[in-house]
């Protein structure tokens, strides 16, 4: 189709003639709404960006409460399910530096808890004398456990079985009561 015919057809439909592949012979064009075309192009480019390069950091301490550690673990699982790397950073403060083995136990337990979703790139390492770091990478989607957000929500307090329904009282029965 010639350029003049394509322009005439686009004007007849109140649309724009957009060149899709400029270096092809002949160039590839499409008759579309140009604003919509730009929006879809931007949307396609934003979804094409990989998230594997992103890294999230989770900070814990050697004296962390088990419930707080479980919350941090849930955050790490969410990040790993979104294909992000997770850096676990344990900071020693004051006299905690004298008992680094406790920090290693906490980080190793954390790594074991998220093992179904990601694996440690290397064993936990000390950075300086205050920080203990470990980097977790997500497992491939076909090898990792199901994302907990995709599972149906379970009621933490299931209700007991309801008693059997009583038959309605008749007029004769209600006078006896």
Residue with tokens 């007849």: 12
Per-residue model confidence as pLDDT tens digits over 113-168: 999 999 999 899 999 889 999 999 999 888 888 877 777 766 566 665 556 666 66
CATH number at residue 16: 3.10.20.80
Is 125 found in the same domain as 59?
yes
Is 97 found in the same domain as 65?
yes
CATH number at residue 112: 3.30.110.10
State which residues form the domain around 65: 55-138
User: What pLDDT does 74 receive?
Assistant: 94
Is 123 found in the same domain as 86?
yes
The residue out of 14, 31, 48 marking a domain boundary is: 48
Is 38 found in the same domain as 102?
no
Q: Could you tell me how many residues make up the chain?
A: 177
177 falls within a domain: no
149 falls within a domain: no
165 falls within a domain: no
Helix/strand/coil for 12: helix
9 falls within a domain: yes
10 falls within a domain: yes
Q: How many CB atoms lie within 10 A of CB 117?
A: 23
What sign for the dihedral angle of Cα 108, 113, 115, 118? negative
Per-residue model confidence as pLDDT tens digits over 26-84: 888 989 998 998 998 888 887 766 655 689 999 999 999 999 999 999 999 999 998 89
Tokens of 6: 């394509």
Is 41 found in the same domain as 9?
yes
Buried b / exposed e along 43-77 (16+ C-beta atoms within 10 A): eeeeeeeeeeeeeeebebbbebeeeebeebbeebb
Is 67 found in the same domain as 131?
yes
Is 124 found in the same domain as 71?
yes
Q: Tell how far CA 103 is from the center of its chain.
A: 27
Buried b / exposed e along 133-155 (16+ C-beta atoms within 10 A): bbbbebbeeeebeeeeeeeeeee
Q: What is the DSSP letter of 104?
A: H
Is 67 found in the same domain as 121?
yes
Tokens of 177: 């009561």
Is 73 found in the same domain as 132?
yes
169 falls within a domain: no
CA gap 122, 109 in Å, rounded? 15
60 falls within a domain: yes
The residue out of 138, 155, 171 marking a domain boundary is: 138
pTM above 0.75, yes or no: no
The number of distinct structural domains making up the chain is 2
pLDDT surpassing 70 at residue 173: no
Phi (first) and psi of residue 63, to 5 degrees: -100, 35
148 falls within a domain: no
């Amino acid at each position: 189709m010639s350029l003049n015919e394509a322009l005439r057809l686009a004007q007849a439909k109140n649309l724009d003639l957009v060149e899709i592949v400029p270096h092809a012979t002949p160039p590839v064009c499409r008759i579309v709404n140009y604003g919509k075309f730009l929006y879809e192009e931007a949307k396609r480019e934003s979804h094409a960006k990989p998230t594997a390069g992103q890294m999230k950091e989770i900070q814990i301490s050697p004296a962390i409460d088990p419930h707080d550690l479980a919350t941090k673990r849930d955050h790490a699982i969410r990040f790993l399910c979104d294909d992000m790397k997770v850096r676990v950073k344990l900071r020693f403060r004051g006299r905690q530096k004298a008992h680094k083995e406790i920090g290693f136990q906490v980080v190793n337990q954390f790594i074991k808890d998220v093992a179904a979703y990601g694996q440690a790139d290397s064993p936990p390492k000390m950075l300086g004398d205050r920080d203990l770091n470990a980097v977790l990478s997500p497992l491939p989607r076909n090898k990792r456990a199901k994302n907990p957000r995709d599972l149906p929500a379970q009621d933490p307090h299931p209700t007991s079985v309801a008693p059997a329904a009583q038959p309605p009282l008749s007029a004769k029965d209600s006078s006896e009561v």
